[in-house]
Chains A and B, each alone.
Chain A
Amino acid sequence: MNNILETNNLCKTYLVNNRQYHILKNINLTVKEGEFISVMGPSGSGKSTLLYNISGMDKMTAGEVNFGGEKLSEMSENELSELRLNKMGFVFQQINLLKNLGIIDNIIISAYMAGHKNKDLIKDRALNLMKKTGIIDLADNEITQVSGGQLQRAAICRALINSPQILFGDEPTGALNSSAAEDVMQVFHDINQEGTTVLLVTHDVKIAAQSERILYMLDGNIEGEYIMDKYNYLEDDLKERESRLTKWLLNMGF
């Protein structure tokens, strides 16, 4: 398997009131194509910051990120946009849908902007994703007319509309009850099966237990990783995976 993403001593430092805050400290991370990874860690440990920096949304302070063999630090702003638009999908912790667009428009905007010629195909795909995540009835709603969980699912549809090579999810199930979360995880497993790499940040052991590799972050460092088999939701016993992971996490001091 090829590496889709590699970081090399990735550092991020914020300057607030002339004081430096080292949020990411020499992160070395390798993600293989088709992998399903979860990142865990206490609040403020730098998980979201890590996602922003490896997806090129934020400028790293030092080090390097390689995506598909190309160095992010050498790419122009336009090339980075292009990369995010076509090859990456992103689900934000804060959801971040566009206020002035309706649900369906929020989902298709990236596809339209990517300049896909066949708009009917885009629309079909959007409706299909909404069906899978259970928000198909909300297509014509404004974003102020739906619940927080529904917004999160719309954000997931948006992230998947351009069939990205990698999906970044920052607490993608944070606002969801367990049955809705299961639906969403189902979608993630499906796209993972089709070859999309998935990288999730989560606090939820039940979610993390469904991935094949779990990273534990603390104070800007990756403190450790826990490797399991790829999760097969038809056969595997999730409870058992959860208890193994919990044990490890307790060991790490979580």
Chain B
Amino acid sequence: MIYKILKKDFAKKKIINSAVFLFIMLSALLMAAGTNMLIELSNSLDYLFEEASAPHFVQYHSGSIDQNEIVQWSAENSLVEKQQIGEMINIEGANTYINSSESEKDTVMDMAFVKQNESFDFLLDLNNQKIELDKGEIAVPIYYMQKRNLSAGDQLIIKNERQELSFTIKNFVRDVQMNPSIISSKRFVVSESDFETLKNNFGELEYLISFQLNNIEQLNNFNNQYSSSNLPQKGPTIDIELLQLLNSLTDGLIAAVVILISILLNLIALLCLRFIIILTIEEDYKDIGVMKAVGIFQSDIKKIYLSKYIIIALTASLSGYLLSLLVNKVFSKNIMLYIGSAPKTFIQSILALISALLIALIVIGFSLIILRRLAKISAVEAMRMGSTVNTISNKSRFSLFKNNIIPTNIFLGIRDVLIRFKLYAILFFVFILSTFIIILPMNFLNTISSSEMVSYMGMVKSDIIMDLRQSDNIQERFKEIQNYLKNDPDVEKSNSYITSKFEIINADGYRENIYLETGDFSVFPIDYIAGSAPLLDNEIALSYLSAEEQSKNVGDTLELIIDEASRTMIVTGIYQDITNGGKTAKADIRPDYETAVWYNININVNKNIKDKVSEYENIFNEVKIYDIGDYFMQTFGTTIDQLRLLMFTAVIIALLVTVLITSLFLKTLIAKDRSQIAIKKSIGISEKDIKIEYLTKSLVILNTAIIIGTIISNTLGQKIVSTALSIIGAPRIEFVINPLEAYILSPLIMITAVTVTALLSIKSIKEFSISDINAE
């Protein structure tokens, strides 16, 4: 009997059993692959950092330096183990031709040419070996290898009006500092003699002043010591923690998403499982009653059912794991290429298997919980009724007899959803999930591409933004432009802001660096999440992350070092900022030109913005000029593109899952309702009416789910995004919602998908006939 029941069950619910198998398998596959990625990532990253002997602290500096001063300072500093000064030649993309007759003038990257370092921060080849080159040879960053599809032996040419240098690509560069594509500069390696030639003929020189410390714990300390020294600091700094973060960001994120999808799939598998178990118990109700009546123990009955789910869960997750072994290469391709591979320990190699088995364990535990309802079945009732329907109370509340308005077929559909809701729960959850998966990225994308993003970037709102590049005569140029704008009648208002590095006294009493933007913040508005703009010269506004770090609120005071003297500043406002690590400040004080990093001018014009932008571009070359829309495309362009891709992927995945589950569900449901449908047909209810009833069921659930899913994504989803973004400095995101897309288009797509799927899935209603049913 046990065997018979199991066999019947497998055969009868072939489709949905296979679906559960499939979902568990995919879930286990992704879980194992995601786990493997994370292991691979951390493992390989450690290995790479060791092989390359990564620097702990690097100061980029453009301008002249005094080598001796740096060497001496390092020698006297007890924290420093090694110190090194590297040179980097930045060459315009327009002068560079990589295996092509087209130059790289459109590249978003800064192309930096270097020679191999001597004591640390080595540039490695694809086998993690130190790159050594002869004259005429070059090693190209992996980024370009992928982008331009390069192989060893290809040519790279650097030329300007005066000179042309030709290189043969010998190798590709794995670079701890600049590997990730999110870092906007890339290092090319050339031989020492070629480096000298380049230095004399092309580009601007930039210095990399790098350090390795005795004790990495002292990094913050060292950072403060360096910034309070007189050593060169015209340019950004990075440290090993940031390098680790940047190197693992993309792949870490992908791994996280893969694991998240795995969890979602597992959730769907569990819901399917719950659906099958409820159905099976309902169908076998009579048999279960008979088994109980003849004295088979409750626990034995449970075992019969459980054994089936144990078999499914274990085989599915094991096959998922085995498949993951095949696809691991695909998932880890990027890691292998950019970071390289490293030997794995035993624990590391079985961790993925364990994670896959975890999925099986969850499934089995879940089945156990649902199977508890077997205990509630009474033998006599089961045999007498042969069905669990009597467990539903207050059915008469939704009596057809009392319905005078709604068309009967639609009424029957709604009624069934209400009284058998448990059965429909799976469809409901999946629809909510799908709506969420579609709407959330849509809203996020819409928000990030809207001009509202200004307020999350701690930026001044204006029509045009000018961004001056660092150069020796930057201050004069800055003045020039300001004067020009003063006399331009098209300019409604303009104001300039200079961001310099200042020091504050932190909570522990130490000095700490902060990017402080100086200027008059009453001219252009900024959005504050608390307080208002700093107006007096003892007032300061802090970014959200700065305020968090210093635990300051509006009204608190903060010590700021100005000209080596401490000034007590009052915090007047807190704003959101996701730029520069999110830790910035604003105050209307005199800028420190020695440490100035950015020079910006904001302009509002009373003419066509685009025209003015091109006009200014012609007058002030070497100044980056954007209108506000362009600015976002520049800064977020790639993010927006990636998000858009993510959104489309999400829409497709959500639709696929929706279609799959709808079809599975309805096919199983009408198979279960087979005899009822045949009876309806026999007393003369038309196929059309029955189909409308089933379609109504799907759409009632879908529409409710869409409403709930939309509300959830606008509330909980917004919270999740805000929480995630608070890490980078914007804790209070408000979705900018495009009502056409979010409230009309996406529901319409879902409704269409579900309607079409439903109609196709219930086609077999046609074949149900009373004579077959009665013969059973």
Q: Which residues of A contact B (CB under 8 A)?
A: 48-49, 52, 57-58, 77-78, 81-86, 88, 90, 92-94, 96-102, 104-105, 108-110, 112-114, 119, 123, 139-140, 142, 144-145, 158-159
Contact = CB atoms under 8 A, between A and B. Distances in A.
A107 to B, nearest CB: 9
B408 A104 contact: no
Interface in B373-390: 385, 387, 389-390
Nearest to A141: B396
Contacts of A86: 684
Contacts of B682: 57, 84, 90, 92, 96
B416 A85 contact: no
Given A96-B679, A96-B774, A102-B395, 16 more contacts: A77-B686, A81-B684, A81-B685, A84-B682, A84-B684, A85-B685, A88-B684, A96-B675, A98-B676, A100-B419, A100-B676, A102-B401, A110-B683, A113-B686, A123-B401, A139-B401
A52 B770 contact: yes
B474 interface: no
Contact of A101 (B400, B681, B686): B400
Interface string B416-443: 1001100000000000000000000000
B685 A57 contact: no
Contacts of B766: 77
B408 A57 contact: no
Contacts of A57: 681-682, 769-771
A86 B395 CA distance: 28
B146 interface: no
Chain B contact residues: helix, strand, loop or mixed:
helix
Contact size range, B: 20 to 34
A74 B681 CA distance: 18
Given A98-B679, A99-B387, A108-B400, A113 B771 contact: no
Given A81-B686, A85-B684, A92-B774, A142 B390 contact: yes
B684 A100 contact: no
B306 to A, nearest CB: 28
11 contacts: A52-B770, A58-B769, A77-B766, A82-B684, A84-B683, A85-B685, A85-B686, A88-B684, A98-B676, A123-B401, A144-B389
Contact of A113 (B387, B408, B420, B676): B408
A216 B420 CA distance: 46
Contacts of A114: 684
B404 A82 contact: no
B224 interface: no
B400 A83 contact: no
A250 B775 CA distance: 29
Contact of A142 (B395, B404, B676): B395
A94 B420 CA distance: 25
Given A105-B401, A113-B408, A123-B401, A144 B385 contact: yes
**Main DSSP-derived SS at the A contact region:** helix
Contacts of B774: 48, 92-94, 96
Enumerate the 3 nearest inter-chain pairs by beta-carbon distance, A residue then B residue, closest first: A85-B684, A84-B684, A105-B400
Interface of B: 385, 387, 389-390, 395-396, 399-401, 404, 408-409, 416, 419-420, 675-676, 679-689, 766, 769-771, 774
B770 A113 contact: no
A244 B565 CA distance: 129
B683 A119 contact: no
B294 to A, nearest CB: 23
Nearest to B682: A57
Contacts of A145: 390
Given A98-B676, A119-B404, A78 B686 contact: yes
Nearest to B683: A110
Contacts of A90: 682-683
Nearest to B772: A58
Contacts of A104: 399-401
A159 B432 CA distance: 42
Nearest to A81: B686
A22 to B, nearest CB: 15
Contacts of B404: 119
Nearest to B775: A14
A85 B385 contact: no
Contacts of B769: 57-58
Contact of B684 (A93, A102, A113, A140): A113
Contact of A100 (B395, B408, B689, B771): B395
Contacts of B387: 99, 144
Contact of B771 (A52, A101, A105): A52
A112 B686 contact: no
